[in-house]
Structure 1
Amino acid sequence: MTRLLSLLLVVLFSANASSNTLLVLGDSLSAGYNMSIEQAWPNLLGDALKNKGKSVTVINGSISGDTTGNGLSRLPSLLKQHNPDSVLIELGANDGLRGFPPQLVENNLKTMIDTIQAQNSQVILMQIRIPPNYGKRYSEAFSQLYPTIASEKSVPLIPFFLEQVIVKPEWMMQDGLHPKPDAQPWIADFMAEQLEPLL
């Protein structure tokens, strides 16, 4: 009987471990802009995490051009469909590039976090930074939103991977905004390193 119970616990534990899912809710930086979805870093992240001893199913819910408002409107159906254990929010760059009010971005991100946590899923927020298109004051206020929200909502904040990629011109597309396919394996490894302690 004891052996049977132990075996049952092992099977249940294995099932739980294998069902660990991460939803990436992002924009073109995660959606594989101008490349096949198979080349995008979220598609490579599962193997990168496996190399670190984590068995995670990664669901890429990213769409090029999405703002925080778009992500917020799509979030409930994604949560219902996938029931993820964790959600990585990589949104805001398009809001910033369009000069949306920081307060709007803040409200959308906070509502997303509340919605995810209400589903008993873990939230991981990615820092987003934008070029100074609308002046230094706006870009600094925008960037400061993320650590402020992470602190207020007690969610982990991970670094913006683009900061490490943009310094290598050979990794960037001609628009200066999107990483090439060549950069995606490095991004996947970088993200695995950031996410592994949190998953």
Structure 2
Amino acid sequence: MTFKAQLLHFAVILLTVLAGPRIAAAEPLQLVGLGDSLMAGYQLPQEDALPAQLQRQLVAKGHDVVIANAGVSGDTTSGGLSRVDWSVPEGTDGVILELGANDALRGIPPEQTEKNLDQIITRLKERNIPILLVGMLAPPNMGDDYGQRFNAIYPRLAEKYGLPLYPFVLDGVITDRSLLLDDGMHPNTKGLETMAQRMLPLAETWVADIKGQQN
């Protein structure tokens, strides 16, 4: 092998070695939105659902992420617990956990809702998957006692496990009729965009924390 050939061979090897980490670093974060109809995008195209909306806004801010939609309309925390293992595949870098609205609508005891969420969080933490917890507030018609017990679930779990908490998924949306579908409960496309915008600052911090843990 001539000197020039040896030099070229060495250069190719060097470039391959140097490119390896860059290729690995270029892999987007694989996130999963685990939730109910508010995550699934009830009656809307998938590109309008909350995971897609939040993904676009994070990417626009320079974050390389993909958010899979594991929302199931009508799902309760019990349903989420029963499917968490297969809804969150191997290789998932983080989970946005949004469940509990249907528990409140059905009057499920808040203690059971908290137990289910606690078990979901425990399973994810056993897999070393970071969690962004998204809270819900009980409907006023459930009464003060129920509301106080239910509304305390998310701050308590966030504190217990040291999780970032977005306190109320429908913040800024549920009181604006123009951001809701005709049923007056589910957000329309503009409502989901608003939800993603409001969630964005916390989601950015969470994503940065995940990247920091991986480096």
TM-score (norm 1): 0.91
Residue 119 (str. 1) matches residue 163 (str. 2)? no
Amino acid of the structure 1 residue aligned with 2:204: E
Residue 64 (str. 1) matches residue 73 (str. 2)? yes
C-alpha separation between the residues in 2 aligned to 1:93 and 1:188? 18
CA drift at 1:189: 2.3
CA drift at 1:116: 0.5
Structure 1 unaligned blocks of 5 or more: none
C-alpha separation between the residues in 1 aligned to 2:141 and 2:45? 29
Counting only pairs closer than 5 Å after superposition, residues 14-29 of structure 1 correspond to structure 2 as 14-15=26-27, 18=28, 20-29=29-38
- RMSD over aligned CA atoms reads 1.7
Equivalence for 1:140: 148
CA contact (8 A) 2:34 2:80 kept: yes
Equivalence for 2:21: 9
CA drift at 1:174: 3.0
Equivalence for 2:57: 48
Compare relative contact order (CA 8 Å, sep 6+) and give the higher one, 1 or 2.
1
Equivalence for 2:193: 185
C-alpha separation between the residues in 2 aligned to 1:24 and 1:12? 24
CA distances 1:39-80 after superposition (whole Å, capped 9, x unpaired):
21212222110111111110000011000000000101122x
Residue 96 (str. 1) matches residue 108 (str. 2)? no
CA drift at 1:86: 0.4
C-alpha separation between the residues in 1 aligned to 2:157 and 2:53? 28
CA distances 1:145-192 after superposition (whole Å, capped 9, x unpaired):
110111111111113231211221111223321111222222222222
Query: Which stretch of structure 1 is more off in the superposition, 109-118 or 126-135?
Result: 126-135
Aligned residues with identical type, % of pairs? 36
CA distances 1:72-116 after superposition (whole Å, capped 9, x unpaired):
00101122x353110111000100111111111111011000101
Equivalence for 2:137: 129
CA contact (8 A) 1:123 1:156 kept: yes
Equivalence for 1:37: 46
What secondary structure, in the 3-state scheme, does the structure 2 residue paired with 1:58 have? Answer: strand
What secondary structure, in the 3-state scheme, does the structure 1 residue paired with 2:95 have? Answer: strand
CA contact (8 A) 1:132 1:138 kept: no
Runs of 4+ in 1 over 4 A off after TM superposition: none
CA drift at 1:3: 4.9
